[in-house]
Structure 1
Amino acid sequence: MDPRIEAHAEILVDWSARVEAGDDVVVSVGPDAHELAVAVAGALGERGANVHATYASGELGRAYQLAHDGDFDEDPDHELALYERADAVLFLDGGRNTSEGSDVPPETREAYSKARQGVREARLDTDWVKTVHPTRSLAQQANMSYAEYQEFAYDAILRDWEALAAEMAKMKEVLDDGSEVRLVKEDTDLTMSIEDRVAVNSAASVAYDSHNLPSGEVFTAPHATEGEVYFDVPMTIRGERVQDVRLTFEDGEVVDYSAAQNESVVGDILETDAGARRLGELGVGMNRGIDRFTDNVLFDEKMGDTVHLALGRAYGSNFPPDREDEANASAVHVDMITDVSEDSVLEVDGEVVQRDGTFRWEGGFDE
Structure 2
Amino acid sequence: MRSEASLPPLPAPVLPPLRQEPREDIILLDGGTEAYPRMLAAIASATRRVHLEVYTFEREGVGARFVDALVAAARRGVAVKVVVDGWGSIKASSHLTQTLRAAGAKVRVYNPLTSLFTGRSWRNHRKILLVDDAVAFLGGINIGDEYAANGDVPGWADLALELRGDICRQLGEKLHAGASALTSGPVSLFLSGLGGGHRLRKRYLSAIEGAKHEVVLAHAYFLPDAGFVRALKRAARRGVKVSLLLAGRSDVVFARAATMRLYRELLLAGVHIHEWTASTLHAKAAVVDGKTLLVGSFNLDPLSLVNLETLVEVAEPRIAAQVGLWLDKHVATSRHVVLEECGRSPLQQWLLDVVGLAVARFAERFASFIGRRRKR
Answer yes or no: same fold by TM over 0.5: no
Query: Which structure is richer in relative contact order (CA contacts within 8 A, separation 6 or more)?
Result: 2
Query: So what's the TM-score if we normalise by structure 2?
Result: 0.30
Q: Comparing both structures, which one devotes a greater share of its residues to helix?
A: 2
In the superposition, the TM-score normalised over structure 1's length comes to 0.31
